[in-house]
Structure 1
Amino acid sequence: MTICWRPTLLTFNPNSAGNKNLLLLSLAEPTSQCKSYDRSAQLDTMFDVLSSDYRRRILFELKAERLRVSEASHRWEAEYGDDRDRIELLLCTIHLSKLADFEFVEWHRESDEIRQESRFEEVRPVLDGLY
């Protein structure tokens, strides 16, 4: 949830020497502007996550089943024409971390397993439209 702030200017007079203006931010009730910001932020997140072919592929394959990094890198080696070790490095250092940060996937390094996370359903309709 996005917190919206309403600026409020108060005059503060600590002593008779003069006035000092103090800008305070007070919590505002959610407004349509805040809701619009939430939708915009969600779209930005979605486009950022889906901007990588590797991340789209991970999410797409997770629609049907769990996924292992080692299995994915093996399959994608021929498709992408890239070295398997390089693919695993990219997945483990960049793409899976980003997907996990946004709670689209749950990634267990020890078991090499990737699973759907709590926000996966938010991205499913977009994936359905892409593939």
Structure 2
Amino acid sequence: MIDNRTDLSGSLSADEAFELLSDGNRRELLLALLDRDLRVGTDPQLSVDTIVESGNRESELCLYHAHLPKLESVAVIDWQRERDEIRTGRRFDELRPLLELLRDHPDAVPGEFS
């Protein structure tokens, strides 16, 4: 389980990576960052407003109070709270192969995983 005591000196374990990807909202956010990060000539930052469901207060609260802090705590994202922007963190590349797999083969994963 990932918590505030997570060691940031090593790599993410498989369990930690799959835990981060276990929630659909986090996957959506990370896939949006992956897409943004790969565009040539585009600033890889992403406004949080672009990923918040319009009018869905519960989703917004979960994003701000659970998902963003969790991803930031393991350095997968860098969250600029004052500007309400996120960008890839120093450990984002550890998730990149799994994110690319999910993006490139959405039908290969059982259930609704996108």
Any gaps of 5 or more consecutive residues in structure 1? Answer: 1-37, 78-82
1:9-88 alignment runs, 5 A limit = 42-65=13-36, 66-73=45-52, 76-77=53-54, 83-88=55-60
CA distance in 2, matches of 1:44, 1:71: 29
What SS does structure 2 have at the residue aligned with 1:63? helix
Corresponding residue number in structure 1 for 2:80:
108
CA distance in 2, matches of 1:93, 1:99: 11
Larger RCO, structure (CA 8 Å, separation 6 or more): 2
Q: Counterpart of 1:48 in structure 2: which amino acid?
A: E
Deviations 1:97-119 (A, max 9, x none): 11001110011111010100000
Corresponding residue number in structure 1 for 2:71:
99
Q: Counterpart of 1:97 in structure 2: which amino acid?
A: P
Deviations 1:74-117 (A, max 9, x none): xx44xxxxx43222211110000110011100111110101000
Structure 1 stretches (4+) deviating beyond 6 angstroms?
none
Higher strand share: 1
Q: Counterpart of 1:119 in structure 2: which amino acid?
A: R
Q: Match for 1:118 among 78, 90, 98?
A: 90
Percent of paired sites with the same residue: 36
Larger Rg: 1
CA distance in 1, matches of 2:17, 2:77: 13
What's the Cα RMSD here? 1.8
Aligned residues: 86
Any gaps of 5 or more consecutive residues in structure 2? Answer: 1-9, 37-44, 104-114
Q: TM-score, normalised by structure 1?
A: 0.60
Q: TM-score, normalised by structure 2?
A: 0.68
